[in-house]
A and B are shown apart, each in its own frame.
Chain A
Amino acid sequence: DSGVTQTPKHLITATGQRVTLRCSPRSGDLSVYWYQQSLDQGLQFLIQYYNGEERAKGNILERFSAQQFPDLHSELNLSSLELGDSALYFCASSQNTGSMRYTFGSGTRLTVV
């Protein structure tokens, strides 16, 4: 157990739907990152939050959004889902904005049908 908790582990949904992925960071970590892992694109950085505020954005689609709550858990919202959004979505956390020593969760496998 890495200490980073992601739920659900698996999600199957239809095109056009909206889903929410949840992440609880490791205790004491203030920074949360979301990554998408697909077969053809590898691990792609989506977005980073630090202590409730958005810090950096990567290749995140406009249909996707995220937030980090006061208790530091984070949610990634994916809307108007397309078949190509099927992927593993990982959350990682680190102590602060300077640390690159990420701790990853086990991921949420999203399948859009």
Chain B
Amino acid sequence: GQQLNQNPQSMFIQEGEDVSMNCTSSSIFNTWLWYKQDPGEGPVLLIALYKAGELTSNGRLTAQFGITRKDSFLNISASIPSDVGIYFCAGPQNNAGNMLTFGGGTRLMVKP
């Protein structure tokens, strides 16, 4: 089945730094989504991308749909302590229906 690989698996950064993470797949995706999971909570949708090359922002977060359609990137600018959590990429399983496959997540820790 499809697998989504996220890198890095974890990051420990200083408050104020910019963050970059990515998600890659062996197969093409026609939609990419980025979710954030706070400790003890369920994932929350941050950004959805629907077209190759698309660049979408949500506040300090910017995500891009890779041109090859096999990858996506999430950047966070000027990180703050509340950015702590696990960031997941997701895409439709087998590019059919709306069941999502999730990546393994990138755990972000921010030092004040």
Contact = CB atoms under 8 A, between A and B. Distances in A.
A4 B43 CA distance: 12
Contacts of A101: 33, 45, 48
B67 interface: no
Given A42-B104, A42-B105, A45-B93, A98 B98 contact: yes
A102 interface: yes
A100 B98 contact: yes
A13 interface: no
A4 B104 CA distance: 23
Given A42-B105, A100-B33, A101-B48, A106 B42 contact: yes
Interface string A1-16: 0101000000000000
Interface in B90-112: 90, 92-93, 97-105
Contacts of B105: 42
Interface string A33-60: 1010000001101001000000110100
Given A4-B42, A43-B88, A92-B42, A102 B103 contact: no
B92 A100 contact: yes
Nearest to A6: B42
Contact of A56 (B31, B88, B97): B97
B99 A33 contact: yes
B78 interface: no
User: Which of B90, B97, B100 is packed against the most chain A CB atoms within 10 Å?
Assistant: B100
A57 B105 CA distance: 23
Contacts of A99: 98
B93 A97 contact: no
B83 to A, nearest CB: 19
B99 A105 contact: no
Contact of B100 (A45, A103, A105): A45
